[in-house]
């Protein structure tokens, strides 16, 4: 089998997607960050119990944190651990990436949005987008473009 091809029936490496982010923001740049997790959180991620919809990334004291990400604990979680589903999770970023992100968010008015969570070589990774918020007319224009592309595909498919 060729390298990089998946067998049919193997699970996807994607854990969760933030579909709302592309609608709400112009994504300028994408970064990959590791996560500091507890054992029960990894088990919940493997079960697919993650929501990124209302999560955001904040840089505090020179470190990145994922805030508002909801990880539902499994009912079979350990009895001696009190799981907090929306706890603040630390992100693992390089110093150069952090310093550049600090400059962009403080001076240029960008915001950091979690786009996707996925597995890479057995480790949970978070894709972060450096983004600017869209105005209402931008959202309408994007929707109009999407509709036109869809209509074009239908026309070409018929002929």
Q: Quick one: pLDDT band at residue 1, thresholds 50, 70, 90?
A: very low
Model pTM above 0.85: no
Q: Among candidates 28, 103, 36, 98, which has minimal Cα distance to 64?
A: 98
- Name the more confident of 84 and 98: 98
What is the maximal distance between C-alpha atoms in the chain? 64
Average the pLDDT over 72-86 and give the result.
77
Q: How far is CA 154 from CA 51, 114, 141, 149, in A?
A: 33, 33, 20, 9
Q: How confident is the model over 133-147, as pLDDT tens digits?
A: 877 777 788 888 889
Closest among 93, 81, 4 to 42, alpha carbons compared:
81
């Amino acid at each position: 089998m060729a390298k990089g091809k998946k067998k049919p029936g193997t699970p996807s490496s994607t854990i969760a997607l933030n579909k709302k982010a592309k609608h709400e923001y112009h994504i300028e740049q994408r970064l990959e960050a590791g996560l500091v997790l507890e054992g029960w959180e990894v088990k919940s991620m493997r079960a697919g119990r993650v929501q990124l919809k209302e999560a955001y990334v904040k840089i505090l004291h020179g470190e990145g944190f994922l805030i508002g990400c909801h990880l539902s604990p499994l009912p079979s979680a350990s009895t001696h651990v009190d799981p907090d589903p929306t706890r603040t999770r630390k992100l693992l970023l390089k110093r150069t990436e952090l310093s550049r992100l600090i400059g962009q968010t403080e001076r240029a008015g960008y915001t950091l949005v979690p786009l996707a969570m996925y597995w890479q070589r057995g480790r949970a990774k978070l894709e972060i987008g450096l983004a600017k918020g869209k105005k209402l007319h931008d959202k309408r224009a994007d929707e109009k473009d999407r509709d036109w592309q869809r209509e074009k595909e239908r026309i070409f498919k018929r002929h």
